[in-house]
């Protein structure tokens, strides 16, 4: 697969809002400490709040939908592999360590119930004044402090589901054709129980690349919809855009009440865009961290131009630049490709003889 400059464009560049601070519901919290508790035989993660004021002061906030964390879903989907997590049992000690490690870096997923609070906003006041209708309603906000629903099993399950969705999407959309082995490996091979004479999913959809691709994409689409439903929502955001009266129209923003929902929104953006892929293994490339380093130029904060020249995975199987080396060996035209190496070996042999 030849590399083209336009291949560097991907969904994040088109869909991630560069200024999520312009609207509410855009932040997530990382607390200074997390503990593992146990309730009715299930282990869960939470931020202990013995001193609420001190704990709130100690937490940090970040914006999952901003560019510095645009690859958060990819990190989460690959977490089971990078951390060596278990599929069975989901509540294993290894998965517990992976759950806590994730929380300390990115915060919990936000699976626990949200906290109610009451806000008297401008809309409530206007409605009550104009219509005589009591419009103050309690809202709910997820503070991301964990709790009984934030179990190790739940984290592991969600991470493995994300891993499955990403692998299926990569396999189905591979530019060189669907990866049949990966797709068929996720297909159920037994009958669904509605009749022994009915064909299995593998028998129906695993017989051709076209049917396998369609099945994989449908599975991914259903997973994304199910995980986003009720956790993210669109909202109008005022576009100032240097207008003298401070209004140049509206644009669409996004809000969320769980980190999990925000990450699945990233997955939807990725599906809508043209993500970069490793030219050797075909995996989707992470957003390069260098693109988000801020520079001080002339007293103003400037962002580096996002890199559009990355062609290979930075590492594979723990080996740095392995995909680049494999590509150079099998497809490259330089001294390190297999043809050039063979010619050099043959030349050395002839000289020795």
**What is the mean predicted confidence (pLDDT) over 96-119?**
86
Q: In terms of domains, do 288 and 319 share one? A: no
Q: In terms of domains, do 42 and 65 share one? A: yes
Q: In 10 A of CB 269, how many CB atoms? A: 21
Residue 334: pLDDT band with limits 50, 70, 90: low
C-alpha 190/C-alpha 30 separation (Å) is 43
Q: Is the pLDDT of residue 135 over 90?
A: no
Q: In terms of domains, do 344 and 279 share one? A: no
Q: In terms of domains, do 197 and 323 share one? A: no
- The pTM for the full model equals 0.73
Q: What is the dihedral of CA 109, 115, 117, 122, to 10 degrees?
A: 20
**What is the mean predicted confidence (pLDDT) over 10-18?**
43
Across all residues in the chain, what is the average pLDDT?
A: 76
**What is the mean predicted confidence (pLDDT) over 77-91?**
96
**What is the mean predicted confidence (pLDDT) over 84-104?**
97
Q: In terms of domains, do 300 and 318 share one? A: no
Q: Is the pLDDT of residue 301 over 50?
A: no
Q: In terms of domains, do 214 and 350 share one? A: no
C-alpha 15/C-alpha 257 separation (Å) is 19
214 and 204 Cβ atoms separated by less than 8 Å? no
CA distances from 232 to 50, 89, 226 (A): 31, 30, 11
Domain that holds residue 126: 5-311
Domain count, the chain: 2
Q: In terms of domains, do 281 and 347 share one? A: no
Q: In terms of domains, do 241 and 267 share one? A: yes
Q: In terms of domains, do 212 and 322 share one? A: no
Which of 249, 270, 331, 301 minimizes the C-alpha distance to 1?
331
Q: In terms of domains, do 233 and 155 share one? A: yes
Q: In terms of domains, do 339 and 193 share one? A: no
Q: In terms of domains, do 253 and 318 share one? A: no
């Amino acid at each position: 697969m030849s590399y083209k400059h336009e291949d560097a464009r991907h969904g994040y560049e088109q869909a991630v809002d560069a200024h999520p601070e312009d609207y509410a519901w855009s932040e997530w919290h990382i607390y200074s400490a997390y503990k593992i508790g146990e309730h009715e035989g299930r282990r869960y993660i939470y931020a202990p709040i013995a001193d609420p004021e001190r704990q709130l002061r100690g937490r940090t906030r970040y914006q999952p939908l901003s560019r510095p964390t645009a690859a958060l879903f990819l990190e989460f989907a690959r977490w089971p592999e990078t951390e060596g997590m278990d599929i069975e049992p989901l509540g294993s000690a290894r998965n517990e360590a992976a759950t806590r490690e994730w929380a300390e870096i990115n915060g919990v997923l936000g699976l626990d119930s949200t906290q109610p609070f009451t806000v008297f906003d401008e809309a409530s006041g206007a409605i009550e004044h104009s219509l005589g209708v009591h419009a103050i309603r309690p809202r709910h906000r997820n503070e991301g402090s964990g709790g009984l629903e934030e179990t190790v099993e739940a984290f592991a399950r969600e991470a493995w589901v994300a891993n499955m969705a990403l692998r299926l999407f990569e396999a189905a959309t591979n530019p060189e054709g669907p990866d049949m082995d990966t797709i068929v490996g996720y297909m159920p091979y037994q009958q669904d129980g509605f009749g022994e004479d009915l064909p299995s999913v593998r028998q129906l959809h695993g017989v051709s690349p076209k049917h396998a691709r369609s099945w994989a994409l449908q599975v991914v689409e259903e997973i994304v919809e199910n995980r986003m439903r009720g956790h993210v929502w669109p909202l109008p955001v005022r576009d100032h855009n240097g207008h003298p009266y401070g209004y140049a129209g509206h644009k669409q923003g996004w809000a969320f009440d769980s980190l999990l929902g925000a990450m699945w929104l990233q997955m939807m953006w990725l599906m809508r865009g043209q993500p970069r892929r490793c030219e050797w293994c075909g995996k989707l490339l992470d957003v390069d961290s260098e693109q988000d380093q801020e520079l001080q130029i002339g007293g103003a904060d400037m962002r580096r131009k996002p890199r559009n020249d990355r062609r290979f995975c930075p590492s594979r199987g723990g080996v740095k630049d392995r995909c680049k080396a494999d590509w150079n060996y099998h497809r490259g035209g330089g001294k390190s490709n297999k043809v050039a190496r063979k010619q050099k070996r043959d030349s050395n042999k002839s000289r020795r003889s």
